[in-house]
Structure 1
Amino acid sequence: MIFQIVSLLLDIACGLFTGACLLRLYMQMQRISFANPVGQLVFVLTDWLVIPLRKFVPSAGRWDLSCLIGAFLGQLVQYLILSLFVGASAAFVLAPLMAVFGVARAAISGMMGLVIINAILSWVQSRSPITAVLERLCEPVLRPIRRVVPLMGGIDFSPLLALVVLQVLMIVLQHLQASVLSIAAG
């Protein structure tokens, strides 16, 4: 029971931090201004680690590697603490590999969340400043689908199809993780 509680709390805290680092990376790649509530929240959650990492980790083009490493470190901390609770040295050794899969899972889950929130806000015609940010963040995922699937009766099914594709990616990632971990552990 204690392990489940610790696991849940770590998943929330480290997942929030990992998601914020990935969102910061993605917003920078999409050249979205941070002068909005989402950008300000991302800065508050990540500046304490990303700014010091930038002194040691250079950017690679549009990729702010300090954000990516921050996301990885957030997941690594989670799996290292869980490994200490389990007490298995194999789990401790596999923690970096688990962190890589954790970052990938967080990226897919985060995009799913963005698409869902964007779709809901599009139904209610919100005038929130967050709406424009969400539309720009979701556009690279929805644009290719919109090219293939036109509006049907004035309804845009691209968010639904994007969620299906992202869910399939999550299933593939889970199976890949299971395969890699069985090879690494065996």
Structure 2
Amino acid sequence: MTYLLNALSLVIELAFNLLATLFVLRVLAEAARADFHNPISQFLYRATNPVLAPIRRVIPNWRRINLAALLLAWLVMVLKNALLFVLLGAAPNAAGLLVLGLADLIDFVLVFYLVLIFGWSLMSMLQVDSRQPVLRLAGAIVEPLLRPLRGRLTVGMIDFSPMAVMLVIVLARILIAAPLLDLGKALTLGQ
């Protein structure tokens, strides 16, 4: 029975993380003003707009941040954690689930940025065609993080700004996301 629970929890994690990825990408692409003519940006818009359009009437954007998509990503994480706790046979605390969902979303976004910056750096070193849609979208999303350090951490022809940003993200996971995850788990279990 444990093997079946492990497999089911993996499927739940994967499905909800993919759904959260759509909403997080929508938030980041809009915040970074990614090119709307990019086929990936158009897919994100078409995939998320049926759900977001009614919510955006009630919850407008704040500056360039799509609060409706952010709210839905958070709710996806809350629902994922609730299902995982119920699957394990635990009765989760609602307030703890809300904190755990927020912590899980923060950690998810930080890991997402780590993977995105690493992939973007690797593709830019390999001289991939700059018109490639994935590279254009990734570049638009990581540029706001790299811009403050661009040119300041260059040695020869190598720019170390992606490495510095990745180090800050890893530290944020250790110092912000991990304690929040621990607090959310403790509150959820009622400890």
Same fold (TM over 0.5): yes
Residue in structure 1 matching 2:75, options 73, 76, 83: 73
User: Any stretches of 5+ residues in structure 2 without a counterpart?
Assistant: none
SS in 1 for 2:37: coil
Kindly state the Cα deviation for residue 93 of structure 1 after the two structures are TM-superposed.
Answer: 5.2
Counting aligned pairs with the same residue, the percent is 23
Report the secondary structure of 1:178's partner residue. Answer: helix
Residue matched to 2:141: 137
Check the 8 A contact 2:29/2:140 in 1, yes or no: no
Query: Compared with structure 1, are the counterparts of its residues 182 and 83 closer, same or farther at alpha carbon in structure 2 (3 Å cutoff)?
Result: closer
**2:147 paired with 1:178:** no
Instruction: Indicate conservation of the 8 Å contact 2:103/2:184, yes or no.
Output: no
Unaligned runs of 5+ in 1: none
Distance change >3 Å, CA 45–CA 105, structure 1 → 2 = farther
Tell me how far apart the structure 1 counterparts of residues 47 and 101 of structure 2 sit (CA, whole Å): 19
Task: Give the letter aligned to residue 162 of structure 2.
Answer: P
Check if 1:117 corresponds to 2:119.
yes
Whether the 8 Å contact between 2:23 and 2:72 is mirrored in structure 1 is yes
Deviation of 1:132 (Å): 2.6
Residue in 1 that maps onto 2:159? 156
How many residues end up aligned between the 2 structures?
A: 185
Asked if residue 41 in structure 1 is aligned to residue 43 in structure 2, the reply is: yes
Say whether the 8 Å CA contact 2:96–2:187 is kept in structure 1: no
What is the DSSP-based 3-state SS (H/G/I as helix, E as strand, rest coil) of the residue aligned with 2:21? helix
AA in 1 matched with 2:26: R
- Larger relative contact order (C-alpha < 8 A, sep ≥ 6)? 2
Scaled by the length of structure 2, what TM-score is found?
0.85
2:96 and 2:184 in contact (8 A); partners too: no
Q: Which amino acid aligns with 2:171?
A: V
CA-CA distance at 1:109 after TM superposition: 1.2
* Greater helix fraction, Structure 1 or Structure 2: 1
Q: TM-score, normalised by structure 1?
A: 0.87
